[in-house]
Amino acid sequence: MISVCVLDPDRQPLDPCHPARARQLLDAGRAAVFRRFPFTIILHDRTRAASMVHAHRLKIDPGSKTSGLAIVQGPRVIWAAELTHRGQRIKAALETRRAIRRGRRQRQMRYRQPRFLNRTRPVGWLPPSLQSRVCNLMTWVERLARLCPITALSQELVRFDMQLMQHAEISGVQYQQGELAGYEVREYLLEKWHRTCAYCGATEVPLEVEHIVPKVRGGSNRVSNLALACVPCNQKKGARSAAEFGFPQVQAQARRPLHDAAAVNATRWGLSQALHATGLPVETGTGGRTKYNRTRLGIEKSHWADAACVGASTPDPLRVAGIRPLGIRAMGHGTRQMCRVDAHGFPKTHRARQKHYGGMQTGDIVQAVVPTGKYAGTWISRVVVKARGWFDLVIHGKKASVHQRHCTRLWAADGYTYALPAVAGTAVSSPR
């Protein structure tokens, strides 16, 4: 369950309400459906001035494949979503385009002077695959800010806090008690040692924080004396130093500090600047803090739960029971490539001139009422339109061909597709 957004007659956001309350309002004719994703109703009879509106905080955990979004009001998470990006697909498409162009130029059908270093990139430029992640998140921040009274933002900016580690004296007792500094150090070490055992290179195994020069031999608790080791290596090493254990390079690597740049990547930095430009107060947190909060609050790991646990503002306790996040997947707005080529780069087909067929376009969510045949029944699905009039739908997880005359558009394509029923009882067959 996630709350339903509520607007007043002037489209000003009010406090979101429980889906059952929204149903009552809709049944009583006091409201109408405004949007399906996220599900939003518009009230006919109550203005924002006459309502009590609370402060809501939108929290973001940016990820490379999937980002988490959560709206927190008081001690509760009231809305959550998981946004799947399309960075890899953008990268693949650009690489294909580059290969086609290169092939065409190699063919020497015409001569053009090669261009070299004749382009300047604006300040803050990001590669398209990374920029799309920032743009996806900003689309949703702006969209949610119009539908819900959001007064503050939180973002996980860095994985760990270098300042905290350099200036706080870190003691062994603190890790064992699960103090915040311990989480920061662990995130730092995971990054520095690439999530592998420093000695045998094992991955995907439980890793322990380990002293390179053991404490019994006078080794310190500073991060420069810490490495990650799998349990067998840690036990085998015992009271020896890394050099005595046969790994002098581990000792040498440990002395080299990680640069701050390693902790904050370009995407998160770009997002942070875009969030500040909204004018809302932005709180930033570290990955160490997120994990510390989530563990302390006893919340299971997921993208949206991480988002809800970002930053120092996280309330204790935080109520998350019953939250089912809205699944959002970035799909793009189709292609602008005019000429499709085959595997050898030979022109195959021209792009269709028309994007709409029967008033629908690829990416719309449609309701299909099929009277007879293999797919008889009522279906809701994302659609791929075809000139012949037979559209591709997803029925029972498989591609199905349904004629356009059976389809009615419910939702116009907006570059995203959604995986959760917007209203209970409506099964959106999972679009791919």
Query: Of 135 and 233, which has the nearer Cβ to Zn ion?
Result: 233
Least separation in angstroms between CB 245 and Zn ion: 11
Distance CA 399, CA 68 (A): 29
Among 83, 153, 197, 242, binds Zn ion (CB under 5 A): 197
Distance CA 215, CA 237 (A): 13
10 Å CB burial of residue 137 (0-12, 13-18, 19+) is buried
> Which one of the spans 200-208, 210-218, 314-322, 364-372 is the region binding Zn ion (CB under 5 A)?
200-208
Footprint on residues 234-293 left by Zn ion (CB under 5 A): none
Least separation in angstroms between CB 194 and Zn ion: 13
- Give the gyration radius of the chain's Cα atoms: 27
Per CB under 5 A, 138 contacts Zn ion: no
Least separation in angstroms between CB 203 and Zn ion: 10
Least separation in angstroms between CB 197 and Zn ion: 3
Least separation in angstroms between CB 236 and Zn ion: 8
Among 226, 233, 307, 328, binds Zn ion (CB under 5 A): 233
Least separation in angstroms between CB 248 and Zn ion: 17
What does DSSP assign to residue 346?
Answer: -
Query: Of 200 and 427, which has the nearer Cβ to Zn ion?
Result: 200
Query: Of 202 and 262, which has the nearer Cβ to Zn ion?
Result: 202
Query: Of 51 and 196, which has the nearer Cβ to Zn ion?
Result: 196
Distance CA 204, CA 112 (A): 51
Least separation in angstroms between CB 200 and Zn ion: 3
Query: Of 77 and 209, which has the nearer Cβ to Zn ion?
Result: 209
Among 202, 262, 266, 410, binds Zn ion (CB under 5 A): 202
> Which one of the spans 75-83, 197-205, 282-290, 308-316 is the region binding Zn ion (CB under 5 A)?
197-205
Among 32, 94, 200, 412, binds Zn ion (CB under 5 A): 200
Contact in structure between 181 and 208 (CB atoms under 8 Å): no
Contact in structure between 188 and 165 (CB atoms under 8 Å): yes
Binding residues for Zn ion, total number by CB under 5 A: 6
Interstrand relation of 326-330 and 282-286 (parallel, antiparallel or unpaired):
unpaired
Distance separating the N- and C-terminal Cα atoms of the chain? 23
Query: Of 75 and 201, which has the nearer Cβ to Zn ion?
Result: 201
Query: Of 144 and 233, which has the nearer Cβ to Zn ion?
Result: 233
Report the candidate in 221, 208, 212, 220 with the shortest Cα–Cα distance to residue 241. 212
Least separation in angstroms between CB 183 and Zn ion: 22
Report the candidate in 58, 306, 313 with the shortest Cα–Cα distance to residue 187. 306
Per CB under 5 A, 309 contacts Zn ion: no
Among 230, 307, 330, 331, binds Zn ion (CB under 5 A): 230
Distance CA 219, CA 211 (A): 7
Least separation in angstroms between CB 216 and Zn ion: 21
Per CB under 5 A, 331 contacts Zn ion: no
Distance CA 117, CA 98 (A): 16
Query: Of 199 and 416, which has the nearer Cβ to Zn ion?
Result: 199
29: region left, alpha or beta (phi > 0 left; psi from -120 to 50 alpha): left
* Cα dihedral sign, 396-400-402-408: positive
According to DSSP, the residues that pair with 400 across neighbouring strands are 393
Contact in structure between 298 and 309 (CB atoms under 8 Å): no
Interstrand relation of 207-211 and 66-73 (parallel, antiparallel or unpaired):
unpaired
* Residues in contact with Zn ion by the rule CB under 5 A: 197, 199-200, 202, 230, 233
